[in-house]
Structure 1
Amino acid sequence: MSSTSTMPFRFHDLPSEIRNKIYRIIFCEFEPPPDDVDPATMLELERARHSINTALLRTNTNIHREAYDILIKTNRFVKITSVRGLPLQKLLVVLRVPVVAVSRRAVERFKGYVLGVHLGFKKSVPMSQVIDKDSNNDARTLMILCRDLDMFCQALRDGDSYDLGYRERLQISITMGPVVDEMPCTRYAPLLDEFFSEKTQEALLAPFRNKLRGYKAVTVDGHIDDKLANAFCNDLAREQWSDPGSLLKDFSLAKEEGTRLFRERRNDEAGIRWEDATVDIDKMHASSEWASLAREGGEPFVSQLAELYFLMKLNLAHLEITEMQDLYDPFARKMADEALKGAIKSCKKGYWTRGYKYTPSNKHLAKLRYRHALFLRLQGDLDTANAALTYLDEALRLQPGDAAILRERQNILAWMQDI
């Protein structure tokens, strides 16, 4: 009998493209944030889920260097630190920003960050005056992924919801490419200097530029082009609302993105997109910059903005009323009420500017009246039944013969029989 010898498999005989693909599968497979949140964990930080096994890094020097290089360049880890008193955990919990590590010791031991972000105060603040006055939490140190920087920056921007002076007191210090300086100069170290090209620098800073306007206390250092760093800081220091044309474009995109998510049946995400946009419009309208914006943009700007605001509020009312139909949800009831009130106030004369009144189309005004009547019926207060019927009759005047409105009118009449 003849015997056959089996040659051992040599991993390095594979083409580099195949090896890199394997590294990405092993080291870079983080799951997206879950759609549903366990109520028991709603006050806890969202953990980034993965099944990464680092055993391969201990195979040999060449594999360690190649794999670590892919691990850092693909995942793009970001180190976040904050001083005591900033409500960082509260902000991250609300938007469910995925966190890779929360142990300070584990975070400090890892040296593979492409970006470091430190949050502090412009100057020393007594603990009696810190932003998170009800918190005794110490300074935070944690790790997130670059893919989630948009969510992180949105969470930072939401700090104004907790304290109106938040933006003015916050100091943001960004370090580009700390991995280059922190990585020990050994044969195991990957070659990362060329990775931080101007294109990569732009990409890493883009979420801050897109989300954080009007933040003047921002510094950037590390492995970054001086001109790019200066331009970036100047962009963030500019007032949040300065260009009517850009604002209309941004809010139009927000409305369209919410509509796309709604059509994909991702209602929660659609609602967040519309809610964020309308909150920003409310803040802008209440700011000292509104008068100059309205003058510069004129009536075309005001009318287009008013329409975007009205339609997004109308959409939000629809989402929350649908929740009310499915189950008793006090939060949905409150949000639906706020959305309807927002849509109504946007149509009042003088709300946007003196002498101007936004008037929706008959179709959209009929939807508002219909949804308002439906909301009142779902609330169950019989004292509002006549008002609900009045809204339905007005909706029918605007949209004669509409089947949904006629059905709801019958529901209202049946409800009124209980009086």
Structure 2
Amino acid sequence: MTSSPNTPFRFRDLPPEIRNKVYRTLLCTFKPRPDPETPKKIETLLHYESAHDEIDTAILRTNKTTYREAYDVMIKTNRFVKVTSVRGLPVRLLLQSLWCPVVTSDKSAVERFRGHVLAIHLDCAAPYRPSPTNYHRMISEPCTLLILCRDLDIFCNAIMDGDAHVRSFSETVRININVGPVLDNLVSGRDPTSFEEFFSTTNQKKLLAPLRSILRGFKSIKVQGHVDHDLARTVQMEIEQDQWSDPQQILADFASAKEKGYTLFQQRKFGYGCLVWQDAAVDIDKIRASSSWPNLVKHANENFVPQLAALYFLIRLNIAHIKITEMQDLRQRYTAGIMAEDALKSATQSLQQDYWKEGFKHRPSVQHLAKLRYRFAMCIRLEGEPGSEDQALRHIEKALQFQPGDPAILKEKDNIMAWIQRGS
């Protein structure tokens, strides 16, 4: 029997498993997760990574029966997570820096959509103090986003970076995790049975797994909604645990990172070595700014802070060395200069009284102080800003006070003097 071309296709006559496959193809096809090793351009950090691919929601508008089937498949497969934050938290910056895929950042679209399986709200216990710069105001704007549950680990890792950007972030932020809000948002008359079954204790654990395995050191956590009471309490306790508690392991990890970077440097893999050092430096910044730090200092032996301070200072000096070398290439001079200057300023700041703990001041060797001043001078000269010649000269003369007669320092002084003469 041949079918007429004018005969409508009877979609609902297809077996349920075929219809579900169609729903998944139309409503659950998103881009693959971004490769974390892909180099990121500075301008890309100002925008969210889109999770969209070929999503077609037209099938949701066919009829009520198809809508219910398709909606169930869409929600249970994609497992959307609503993320909101208040003004003053750098959530935008944190998610963009790790390329966390976002389904939509359109607030009105997110608010209209009621099919999220988790809702995560980040509040701030301390009052918001607006930054004077437009950039910092932008990254601290409130966020209302929709992400996929598959990307919750990226979200959690981004939030764990908060202490590296905002002092005492983990101590001041409040995180409210609401499980199963889709059950509260079902349209009137809709049978909730299938969704209630979906939020079994087993699935609750799966949904919360990234949060409970990655988030640490946040002291104000609330897990509520359609969640087992004992599970909610366990998740709260796990997230409140200090992320860092073993001083000797911390020292061993960062000493290993320092040596790994040096090995890569010797192998002339300068970029990879620098990345290892940068990650280590950021992690030390996070530890010092985290809620774990006071307990670490209190319970560690007297060598912990001096040894960590020494590692940090040398790692920052090493980063500056790599970036100053990159500044020799005009194509890299601007971005490498920014990173070199940041590394040198961080190293200098770490020498301040009470920076690491009250009553302590890290005092490097004269050789390392000479390197700090020498690299400051070279960085300033390569940046070539008019009017900064005297600053470069002061740094190089200070380096010579620490290391009189050092050939490299003397050569750099000649370079700076030639720069001054060209400008006169």
- TM-score w.r.t. structure 1 length? 0.64
Q: Confirm whether residue 108 of structure 1 aligns to residue 98 of structure 2.
A: no
Query: TM-score, normalized by length of structure 2?
Result: 0.63
- 1:377–1:412: 8 Å Cα contact kept in structure 2? no
- Aligned-residue offset at 1:140: 4.2
Q: Which deviations, in whole Å up to 9, do the C-alpha atoms of 1:75-126 show, x marking residues without a partner?
A: 332112334555544655566544322333311222221210123355xx8x
Indicate the larger mover: 168-177 or 263-272: 263-272
List per-residue Cα deviations over 1:370-398 (Å, max 9, x = no partner): 977865763565736677899999999xx
SS in 2 for 1:220: strand
Residue 75 in structure 1 maps to residue 78 in structure 2:
yes
C-alpha RMSD of matched pairs (Å): 5.8
**Residue identity matched to 1:29:** F
1:193 is aligned to: 197
Residues of 2 paired with 1:258 and 1:16: CA distance?
53
Q: Which residue of 2 aligns with 1:276?
A: 282
- What is the Cα deviation at residue 325 of structure 1? 2.9
- What one-letter code is carried by the residue in structure 2 that aligns with 1:130? Y
2:208 aligned partner: 204
The one-letter code of the counterpart of 2:283 is: A
The residue identity in structure 2 corresponding to 1:273 is D
Provide closer, same or farther for how the CA distance between residues 238 and 309 of structure 1 changes in structure 2, counting only shifts above 3 A. same
Q: Secondary structure at the match of 1:143?
A: strand
Q: Aligned equivalents of 2:146 and 2:237: distance in 1?
A: 27
Out of 272-281 and 6-15, give the one that drifted further.
6-15
Matched, 1:242 2:245: yes
**Quick one: structure 1 residues 284 and 230, their matched pair in 2 at CA, closer, same or farther if it must change by over 3 Å?**
closer
Distance 1:357 1:187, change over 3 A: closer
- Counterpart Cα distance in 1 of 2:210 and 2:197: 20
Asked if 1 retains the 8 angstrom alpha-carbon contact of 2:164 and 2:282, the reply is no
> Residues 2-401 of structure 1 correspond to what in structure 2 (within 5 A)?
16=17, 20=21, 23=24, 27-32=28-33, 35-37=39-41, 39=43, 43=46, 45=48, 47-57=50-60, 68-83=71-86, 86=89, 88-89=91-92, 92=95, 97-122=100-125, 129-132=127-130, 140-153=143-156, 155-156=158-159, 164=167, 167-184=170-187, 186=190, 191=195, 193-194=197-198, 196-198=200-202, 201=205, 204-207=208-211, 210-213=214-217, 215-244=218-247, 247=250, 273-283=279-289, 287-295=293-301, 299=303, 305=308, 309=312, 312-314=315-317, 316-327=319-330, 329=333, 332-340=336-344, 375=379, 378-379=382-383, 383=393
- Structure 2 gap ranges (5+): none
Q: Percent of counterpart pairs with the same letter?
A: 36
CA positional deviation for 1:49:
4.1
Farther-moved stretch of structure 1 (244-253 vs 200-209)? 244-253
Letter in 2 for 1:104: K
